[in-house]
Amino acid sequence: MSFTTPGLQAFAAAVDTERQRQLAKWGDQRHPDGTGQYPELIVDADVARMACQQAAEGEYLTWLHILREEAAEALAETDPAKLRTELVQIAAVCAAWIHDIDTRTPPQTDTKTEAPFAIGFRLHHHGNAYDGVLLPGGQTILVTDPADLLATGAPTLDDLLRGGYHGAHIEWGHQTLHAEFQRAIGLLATLADPEPCRHDHHGHCRIHGTTASPCPHVSARELITRHGRPEAGRG
Ligand SMILES: [Zn+2]
């Protein structure tokens, strides 16, 4: 048999090989479908559909979004004929995905949404604050109950927000640090004495009565001069 779609011959051959391996291991398998039995499956399908649509509109669509949507739809389906159609769609998406991987030159990793390391954040939602972490692969974990160490996760931060934290404000770890640093500089500006230092021949400041050299007030004024105009001249 020959196919018109590029890459489908290789896909079918790979599936054939895998099916032979499965048959050898488990034989001809018979199971109930089990799909569409739980209300949350309908919700999952809606969330996956929305996530995929928004990813497409926001131009950050990935194969994850697409396959997840197809899979969620299949899992929510009760009618065997419709389920069969959904499963064919999953297989077609897998074929397209594999063809994409096989024809990438050079093989590239999706760096668009990847951070080099995990980034902590605080999520503010309806008056509550939760700590979370964004992993390098985009997966996001949110601690929902610190006392009992309960957490929720999602394939992406966007998925997490859409899954129950609409309109949440995200405060990133480095933003927190920057804000704290500016507060510290502001505090330093309040505490530092503007009166110029006068050092004796030991290098001690006579004005501030310190034996440290240079006087801490000199160091403080240097820091304030270097960092003390927050956001001035920035976009
Ligand atoms: Zn001084």
Q: How far is the CA of 180 from the centre of ligand 1 (A)?
A: 26
Distance 182 CA to ligand 1 centre (A): 23
Q: What is the pLDDT of residue 17?
A: 93
Q: Report the separation in Å between the CA atom of 81 and the middle of ligand 1, taken as the mean of its atom positions.
A: 84
Here the tokens at position 133 are: 């972490």
Contacts of 232 (CB under 8 A, 6+ apart): none
pLDDT at 112 over 60: no
**pLDDT at 231 > cutoff 50:** no
How many angstroms does the Cα of residue 59 sit away from the middle of ligand 1?
Answer: 57
- What average pLDDT does this structure show over 85-94? 96
Query: What pLDDT score does 141 carry?
Result: 95
Q: How many Å lie between the centroid of ligand 1 and the Cα of residue 218?
A: 6
Q: Is the pLDDT of residue 228 over 80?
A: no
Rounded Cα–Cα distance for residues 199 and 206 (Å): 6
Residue 227 — very low, low, confident or very high, per pLDDT cuts 50/70/90? confident
Question: What are the extents of the domains in the chain?
Answer: 8-102, 119-172, 174-227
Number of alpha carbons in the 13 Å side-chain half-sphere of residue 203: 4
How many Å apart are CA 34 and CA 41, to the nearest integer?
Answer: 11
What is the 186 CA–ligand 1 centroid distance (Å)? Answer: 19
What is the rounded average pLDDT of the residues 191-218? 86
Can you give the pLDDT at residue 89? 95
Its sign, for the CA torsion 161, 162, 168, 174, is positive
Percent of the chain residues past pLDDT 90, beyond the cut: 46
- CB burial class (10 A; 0-12, 13-18, 19+) of residue 177? exposed
Distance (Å) from CA 159 to ligand 1 centroid: 55
What local confidence, expressed as pLDDT, does residue 213 receive?
80
Q: How far apart are CA 111 and CA 108, in angstroms?
A: 8
Find the 185 Cα to ligand 1 centroid distance in Å: 18
Per residue in 42-79, pLDDT (tens digit) is 889 999 999 999 999 888 899 999 999 999 999 999 99
Residue 5 has pLDDT above 80, yes or no: yes
Residue 166 has pLDDT above 90, yes or no: no
CA of 202 to the centre of ligand 1 (A): 13
Among candidates 157, 177, 155, which has minimal Cα distance to 165?
A: 157
Give the pLDDT of residue 131. 94
Distance 184 CA to ligand 1 centre (A): 20
**pTM for the whole structure:** 0.46
Give me the pLDDT at residue 114, please.
Answer: 52
Q: How far does residue 221's CA lie from ligand 1's centre (Å)?
A: 10
Report the candidate in 148, 157, 225, 136 with the shortest Cα–Cα distance to residue 189: 225
